[in-house]
Amino acid sequence: MGKGKPVVLLCIFFLFICSASPAICSSSLLCTSSSFLTSSSPSGQEIDPFYLRLLTQGEKSLLAKNYREAAKELEIAAFGLHKETNLKAKALTYLGLCHYYLRDMENCEKYMRQALDLIGAEKTADLEKEIDESLRNDFQKLLVHFKLAPVEEKEVPSKAQEKTEKIEPKAKAPTKKETPRTQPRIKQDPVKTLEESIKASRRDTFLYYELYELHIKNNDTKAAKKTLENLVRYNPYEINGLFLLGKINFGERKYKDAEKNFERIVLISRRVEVEESVLDDTKAYLILSSYLRGDRKKAQKLMSESMDTLSAEKIASLGLDLRVKGQLERIIRRYRAQADADRNKMRIDELEKAIQRQPRNTALYHELYELYRAEKNVGAARDLLQKLVRNNPDDMRGRFLLGKDEFAQNHFLSAERHFNQILAASDKSDVNRELILKSMIYTSICFHRLYKREDAQKFIQYLNDSASPAEIQRMVKEEGLEEEWERIK
Q: Which band of pLDDT confidence, cut at 50, 70 and 90, is reported for residue 275? A: confident
- Domain edge (last residue) among 319, 334, 349: 334
Query: Does the structure show a pLDDT above 90 at 338?
Result: no
CA quadruple 208, 214, 216, 221: dihedral, nearest 10: -70
- Please identify, among 296, 319, 334, the residue that sits at the C-terminal boundary of a domain: 334
Question: Is 476 a domain residue?
Answer: yes
DSSP assignment of 15-27 equals: HHHHHH-HHHHHH
The mean per-residue pLDDT over the stretch 372-390 comes to: 92
Instruction: Show contacts of 107-116: CB within 8 Å, 24+ apart.
Output: 108/142, 109/146, 112/142, 112/143, 112/146, 112/148, 113/146, 113/148, 115/89, 115/90, 116/89, 116/148
- Domain check: are 140 and 72 in the same one? yes
Same domain, 426 and 446: yes
pLDDT at 416 over 90: yes
196 domain-assigned: yes
Q: Is residue 158 part of a domain?
A: no
- Give the pLDDT confidence score for residue 318 in this predicted structure: 87
**Domain encompassing residue 242:** 190-334
For residue 240, give the H/E element and its range. Answer: helix 239-251
The model's pLDDT over 169-207, given as tens digits with 9 standing for 90+, comes to: 444 444 444 444 445 555 578 889 988 999 988 888 889
pLDDT of residue 86: 87
Answer yes or no: do 296 and 362 share one domain: no
Give the ranges where 81-169 is alpha helix by DSSP (H).
85-101, 105-119, 124-130, 136-145, 159-167
What per-residue confidence (pLDDT) applies to 247?
A: 94
Is the pLDDT at 359 greater than 70? The verdict is: yes
- Asked if residue 432 and residue 480 are part of one domain, the reply reads yes
Looking at 359, 393, 427, the residue that finishes a domain is 393
User: Among candidates 379, 410, 390, 385, which has minimal Cα distance to 400?
Assistant: 385
pLDDT cut 90: percent of the chain above it: 40
Cα 360–Cα 399–Cα 369 angle in degrees, nearest 5? 65
> Coil, helix or strand for 254?
coil
Spatial separation of the C-alpha atoms in residues 31 and 487, rounded to whole Å: 98
Report d(CA 366, CA 317) in Å as an integer. Answer: 40
pLDDT (tens digit per residue) in 422-475: 988 866 656 788 999 999 999 999 999 999 999 999 999 999 999 999 999 999
Q: Which residue has the higher pLDDT, 342 or 489?
A: 342
More confident residue, 383 or 173: 383
> Of 158-172, 342-356, 366-380, which gets the smallest average pLDDT?
158-172
CATH of the domain at 198: 1.25.40.10
Please give the pLDDT value at position 296: 86
pLDDT of residue 178: 46
Residue 430's pLDDT is: 62
Q: In this structure, are residues 86 and 124 in contact, taking their beta carbons and an 8 Å threshold?
A: no
In a shared domain, residues 412 and 373: no
The answer to whether 98 and 135 have CB atoms below 8 angstroms apart is no
pLDDT in tens, 6-23: 333 334 334 434 444 444
How many domains does the chain divide into? 4
Instruction: Render pLDDT for 236-260 as a digit per residue (tens, 0 to 9).
Output: 999 999 999 999 999 999 999 999 9
Q: Based on the domain organization, do 357 and 443 belong to the same domain? A: no
